[in-house]
Amino acid sequence: MTSWDQQGNYSNGSGAGQGSRGSGYVPPHMRGAGGARCPVDTGLPAPEALDMRSYDPFAEAEATNKDADELFAGENTGINFDAYEDIPVEATGSNVPEPISTFQDIDMGKELMENVRRCKYTKPTPVQRYSIPIGMAGRDLMACAQTGSGKTAAFCFPIIAHALHGGFQPGARGRKAFPLALVLSPTRELSSQIYDEARKFCYQTGVRPVVVYGGAPQVQQLRELERGCDFLVATPGRLIDIMDRGRVSLAKIRYLALDEADRMLDMGFEPQIRRIVQGEDMPPVGRRQTLLFSATFPKEIQRLAADFLHDYVFLAVGRVGSSTELIVQHIEFVPGHEKRQMVLDLVQSLAEGLTLVFVETKKGADALEDFLVRNGIPATSIHGDRSQAEREAALRSFRSGRTPVLVATDVAARGLDIPHVTHVINFDLPADVDDYVHRIGRTGRAGKKGLATAFFSDKDAGMAGKLVELLQETNQEDPPDLPKARDASGKQGDWFQMLLARFNPISEKASNTAVLDFEKPLVELDHKIREVRKVAEQNGVDVSSQIKELEARARQLRKETYAKLTPIQRLQVARHPNRPTFLDIALNITDKFVELHGDRMGLDDPALVCGIASMDETSFMFIGHQKGRNTKENIYRNFGMPQPNGYRKALRFMRMADKFGFPIITFVDTPGAYAGLKAEELGQGEAIAMNLREMFNFRVPIISIVIGEGGSGGALAIGCANRMLIMENAVYYVASPEACAAILWKSRDKAGVATEALKITPRDLVGLGVMDEIVPEPLGAAHTDPMGAFPAVREAVLRHYRDYVGRSATEIMADRYMKFRHIGVYEEFLVAGGDVEAARAQREEAPGAYTKAGTWAPTEADARYIEKCADADEKWEQSLIGKEQWLNPPKVDHPGWLKPGWTEFVLALEEALEEEEAEAEEGEAGEGAGFEDDSDEEGHDATLSNGARNLAEADAA
């Protein structure tokens, strides 16, 4: 019969206690002690005795003084305990043990107490004061404490002390490990950090810690397990892999700890945790002690965590999910396009310390790192796509100060304890305030002060209320605009959530794995690079130089591939499902964007989106086609093909923009207007024609950019602009190549031939004078790096808009008219005797042709039209006499060169057109000559007059 005597010695009933064993063996906690100690009664079953290792169990633990100096020399040891004196603590549960005031108040064993001294812990922090006696009493615990408050020691100390008090025997050496304690954490970095701390606490105790996590060679980790494992630190995924190989058994587990428990139960780890805790051979609840720790514990996670606990104590140090007053928090309102420069300014202004920058996406981390390095800032980055070796190298470089700036995704948000992090920057705010608390908790640790800066924009409005509460709780200064954002989001938050529920942001698009045929060699090369990196990690081989060479080859191949795209391949890129949509661009290039709805007839077409936007303190009207991200959203958005009510909505808001002086920016991305029977019955053609006519009457500049595919009249209905821009891999056509191939060749297979003949690519369109500029995209096109495409779009739009600042309404309208007046030609008017070549030669020599200098040479008819516009403009200005208040309407931010009064202007223009109509009637006899002989200027002018009369009649109707 096995038993434990009151001195903690093991007995098998033969009278020979394990404390003596006849071989002079002394348990670790008794070595060097003056006498027996009375252990704390935990109420747990005693661990089963294990066979002794075949070698001296303490040979590796007995480090030299030099080893001890190195082990405890880390700068993360030592805590400013005075900073925690006033933090409130609440412990709920039955028979909660009394807290301790000093480490000497409870018996944790001589060796452990010596290690506490070596770690420079002078007195326990609040979470340690309560957690250690609760843990020593054998109670289950759910503890929520502020980041950097000593939670690792709070669960390590009771586990190690229990082992020492219980006559701990080192785990047997063998192929299969039987650890006594298991600590689970969500990330590799946090697991490694817990292991480093455990090594200090286990120094010279005989307790052997081992860490296993993904991304590192499994062979080395298995070797460490074979050498003996008493205290296992692991990530869930790697632990399951090793258990599946039969190399770890949880049958001897007496102590289970989950660090950052809320994340592991909320972020997709729950099935793995349940398998480890409930689906393997681990002792059930009540036969083991379970300790859950985190800085945040939302209510739903508390209910979930209770499944793993028995008669537990809930410990709240400070407010659950709150931060600490030691961290000074600043909220900066920064537009998306200014974030990089703001980070650069902040980093350059810091004299000392390390800066940790959090971003939302992996690509964003790489891009920001490159930007900082190009600007002379030593920086590195970590994210989920980096190998474990790369992540550890980046952290070492950051800790040492060689690269004082670390750009990271949320892999670094939890638990990492890095000394001298004086500044945390939230480049992209998380969606949840608990994640924000964890992020800023990387500074202000161990009682030291820290600074946290967050970049806030309109898309973060949902966080405003929680941020205000957090700032008030930690006695921080409220930014004056943050409560306003909170109030605004509170009034319309549910409404905006409903509107955005059918729009997935660009970050979710990256998960789409659509690969075009010509991209397959690029994907295969990237796959080979990952395979080489994986094999190198598994075998511990350094192939960094070979990987760099392969990456350079991949970049060159990508550059060559996209430089030589055929027109049909360019069309495929333009239609790529990962390509940024209008809303993606609008939300990322503007300082503020508010969507507007409705066509005044109770309809709202989701395929055409409108909204007020702000850039560089100027208000714009944004209008664009909106495709879907997936099949469900595409059905809702009708694949970006508007109905008549969509074009009426666009016209309504263009008129509003003209009235209040907002420049109009349109984003074209549609296969064409919807050609359904219902759409035609509702007046599809009429709606498009109305837009085409009305867009030439607007006095504000119109800038249009093709961001995907611009098809047919559906594109032109919002594309009659002063400037037409096109992204590098977009296309613009009258009829789709597939439709042309079906008509001409009765086969879709000829689409490639049709694509070349149609001249739909950006280079062709600029050469034809249809487009004014090609907006460059990142290497590999916008679908491979959506975030990298936005700055060029913003810069181009603003630059072309500024070209019109200071111009009169007459100049703006005339410029738009002139652009479309000379795009293409109606060749029937020019064919003389059927000689097409002669007609083309005439056209090239005729006035109005596109000159070599790149400007239009206006015809006499054009000059007359401009003169009429000027007359109308003058009459419009005369109509404003006595109505000066119209020139500067209150609470409207618009450029000074814009004047409201659209109705008056249209009336004046109609009057001018009536005068032209009268002149045209006098020369009616000459109209026919104009059709017969294109060299007859009078006939040419009469044709224009006839068109003007028709417009006037249509307008009157």
Tokens of 527: 């796959």
Domain-embedded: residue 938: yes
CA 115 – CA 102 distance, rounded (Å): 15
Domain that holds residue 754: 572-805
Q: What pLDDT digit, counting tens, does each position of 343-390 carry?
A: 988 888 876 789 999 998 887 888 888 888 888 888 888 887 777 778
Average pLDDT over every residue of 487-502: 44
User: What are the tokens at 275?
Assistant: 């398998």
Quote the CA–CA distance of 389 and 192 in Å, as a whole number.
12
Same domain, 280 and 426: no
Q: How confident is the model at residue 472 (pLDDT cuts 50, 70, 90)?
A: confident
Say if pTM beats, i.e. exceeds, 0.75: no
In percent, how much of the chain has pLDDT > 70?
A: 69
Q: Does some domain include residue 811?
A: no
Considering the domain architecture, whether residues 437 and 531 belong to the same structural domain is answered as: no
Our CA angle for 179, 312, 10, nearest 5°, is: 40
Total structural domains within the chain: 5
Give domain status of residue 866, yes or no. yes
- CA dist 532 and 382 (Å) reads 19
DSSP state letter for 46: P
Residue 44 lies in a domain: no
Annotate 467-485 with b (16+ C-beta within 10 A) or e (fewer): bbebbeebebeebeebbeb
pLDDT of 163 higher than 90: no
What is the residue-wise DSSP string for 103-157?
GGGS---HHHHHHHHHTT--S--HHHHHHHHHHHTT--EEEE--TTSSHHHHHHH
- Do residues 695 and 622 touch, judged by C-beta distance below 8 A? no
Asked if 536 and 412 sit in the same domain, the reply is no
H-state helical runs in 803-859:
809-821, 836-845
d(C-alpha 621, C-alpha 236), whole Å: 50
Q: How far apart are CA 387 and CA 557, in angstroms?
A: 23
CB-CB contact of 694 with 657 (8 Å):
no
**Residues 909, 834 share a domain:** yes
Which CATH number does the domain housing residue 451 bear?
Answer: 3.40.50.300
Q: List Cα–Cα distances, 622 to 109, 615, 651, in angstroms.
A: 70, 11, 12
Q: What end-to-end distance do the CA atoms of the chain give, in Å? A: 107
Determine phi and psi for 701, rounding to 5 degrees.
Answer: -70, 145
Of 647, 641, 619, whose CA–CA distance to 718 is shortest?
647
**Strand pairing partners for 732?**
710
Q: Would 244 be classed as within a structural domain? A: yes
Write down the H helix ranges in 25-125.
65-71, 110-118
The answer to the question of residue 322 being in a domain is: no
Q: Which pLDDT score is estimated for 508?
A: 39
Predicted pLDDT at 869: 63
- Asked, for residue 655, whether it belongs to a domain, the answer is yes
- 52, 61, 55, 7: which is closest to 33 by C-alpha? 7
Q: How, if at all, do strands 141-144 and 89-92 pair?
A: unpaired
| Residue that is last in its domain, among 805, 840, 866 | 805
Shared domain check, 424 and 453: yes
797 and 891 belong to one structural domain? no
Listed residues 542, 564, 586: the one ending a domain: 564
Question: Using CA atoms, how far apart are residues 472 and 864, in angstroms rounded to an integer?
Answer: 66
- pLDDT tens digits for range 791-831: 999 999 999 999 999 888 888 988 888 888 777 654 444 44
Q: Residue 218 above 80 pLDDT?
A: yes
Is the pLDDT assigned to residue 946 strictly greater than 50?
Answer: no
Tokens 């661990």, residue located: 47
- Count Cα atoms within 13 angstroms, Cβ side, for 531: 6
The answer to whether residue 7 is domain-embedded is: no
Residues 529 and 432 in one domain: no
| Whether residues 547 and 583 fall in one domain | no
Say if residue 337 is in the same domain as residue 273.
Answer: no
Which H, E and C letters describe 513-568, residue by residue? CCCCHHHHHHHHHHHHHHHHHHHHHHHCCCCHHHHHHHHHHHHHHHHHHHHCCCHH
Q: Report pLDDT digits (tens) over 433-455.
A: 878 888 888 787 666 778 889 98
Which tens digits make up the pLDDT trace of 685-722?
A: 999 999 999 999 899 999 999 999 998 888 989 999 99
In the chain, count H helices and then E strands. 36, 24
Summarised one tens digit per residue, pLDDT across range 536-577 is: 766 667 777 777 788 888 888 888 888 889 999 999 999 998
pLDDT at 4: 38
Specify the pairing of strand 608-615 against strand 618-625: antiparallel
Do 233 and 211 contact (CB within 8 A), yes or no? yes
Q: In angstroms, rounded to a whole number, what is the distance separating the alpha carbons of residues 229 and 239?
A: 13
